[in-house]
Structure 1
Amino acid sequence: MGLHTVFNDNLTGPQDIYDLLERGQITPSEAVALFIKFEECKDNLPFPANSKDKPVSIDEIMKELDSLIGLTKVKKLVKELRAFIEIQKCREKEGLTTEPLVMHMIFKGNPGTGKTTVARILGNIFKEMGLLQKGHLVEVERADLVGEYIGHTAQKTREQIKKALGGILFIDEAYSLARGGEKDFGKEAIDTLVKAMEDYKDNLILILAGYEKEMEDFLKSNPGLKSRFPIHIDFTDYSIDELMEIAKLMLDKREYKLSDTAFNILKEILLKQKYKNQDKLGNARLVRNLIEKAIRRQAVRLVQQKGVTREDLMLITEDDIRGVEEE
């Protein structure tokens, strides 16, 4: 596999590989292969590894956003933010009063609904618009910020902040920082983050992400935080039709297709899962897991079959998909 084949479509480094995996566009085994290839090739890349120095226009970034399935309200808000920044810059040039460009955000929604992907796209947009120097994304969770003894947490948190300078610090399940009460070291992490928001207000954007209810409770528990995050974005669960569209994209990428009956069975499975797991359905990971199980089932079926054709290798049948959610 050639270098340009591996690193096409803006695939510039490890984090982009994580994004493809999260969106279900590659399998875990394909991700491992890409990581290995990246390590082999990174010294010869035509642009710095894991950077966004490869020339890209705002319009190209917005096309990437528009290509994502669903996320209608998210896309609308991102376009509003882009327009707001552009107009404030125009007003500044004309000597008019401008609104402060405070871009710290709260992302609320279930896992796998595109929060990390959108955060990365925002970083690219803000870099190209001159709001951030690098536009890269540093994704962390409680374990990356909270230490085991007094003083350790502030040190760990500052290290992550330093990595994120010039870009976005994305904290997943941010509400976990406030779960331990007053004596928990998570409070120290919050205090350190709040100080950094002021110290690096022109060189750092903070995005806190997590389940909607938990994030609402988190903000209520620390009133000083809410005012510092003027932008709230809700990531709603995918509809059944959107999940089926995601399934088709995953299958197309792998050069598989569903029979008509298998298509209907997968849709029935997703409908059943929707009512069993209201807080877990709205993500591409469920679809990816079902598809990967069906592909393995198909392999077991075909390996015992004589005279396997190209069509056989591509087709996922009802036998491959039926009952797959129970495994």
Structure 2
Amino acid sequence: MPLTINRNQNIDLQFLPEGGNLVKGLKSTVGFKAIGEDGKGTPVLGAIYNSKGDEIVSFATIHNGMGSFEFTPKAGEVYTARLSKPVIKSFELPKISAVGTVMHINNPKQGDALNVTLQGTNSLTTDTACYLIGTSRGAVYYTQKVDLTQPALSVDKKLFPTGIARFTFFIGKRPLNERAVFIDNHDQLNITVATNHPTYRKRDSVSLTIAVKDKSGLPVQGNFSLAVTDDSQVRVDSLGNYGIGASLLINSELRGTVEAPGYYINRKDKQAREALDNLLLTQGWVGYSWKNMFAPLKSRSLSWRKSLKLPGR
């Protein structure tokens, strides 16, 4: 039997800047995830404070312990997150980089394009070509040379298949920022199953009529499989957490365990789309080490290939 102890549970809170790093003077979106002692997301409420104790921005989770907020960090500051609910606890935010780049992607519900913004500090200069690369499931679908003086880009969503796409910003061959977004082309198949009788007796034969159509209502030709289970032995997956869509489009592309992945596939409530983006900001986060990246050429090391940080692995 479960034992309930009347005490404040220990909470782990991680802050993950969009694109990888916080840079002084550049507005950033920061995703965060709060995890309870049971390893699952837990709701929290708190605020960000500077070294003087001034409140900068408040934050609150919206689903499964995840949320996000925006703020512009200042040089030389150390920012602290203080929880007010369900426990009182403090956490330090990632350190602020003096020089670097920030990538922001806006994925509007309406419209066929992603809006990508790349910003760099004033002291950032490079004589090396910069590129934005878009990939999905290991294949490259988008390549664009970037001019840092004109950092706004529009990317057609139809270039990518439905699912998680990753955009990586490179200076030469060195990755600086990466961001994952979910693209939905609304091209899932429509499958209907009809039986020849409303009810059946024990050991009756069952005849099924199965129709598979695309989003235009046209029949689809292909190879399909069907599994029949005993509902007294196998729990009905009414939320779609164990379906092929959740497995291929969500679970296979993210680190760690995704709680209720069917919620992000079905997106039946108003906050589901924002919750999906927060999931990608956190469990889809990738950060690259900038050590020696912006140092003078003589002091740069060639160890950048080992600099990829993958939290959760």
User: Taking structure 2 as the reference length, what is the TM-score of the superposition?
Assistant: 0.23
Kindly indicate which of the two structures has a greater share of residues assigned to strand. Answer: 2
Larger Rg: 2
User: Taking structure 1 as the reference length, what is the TM-score of the superposition?
Assistant: 0.23
Kindly indicate which of the two structures has a greater share of residues assigned to helix. Answer: 1
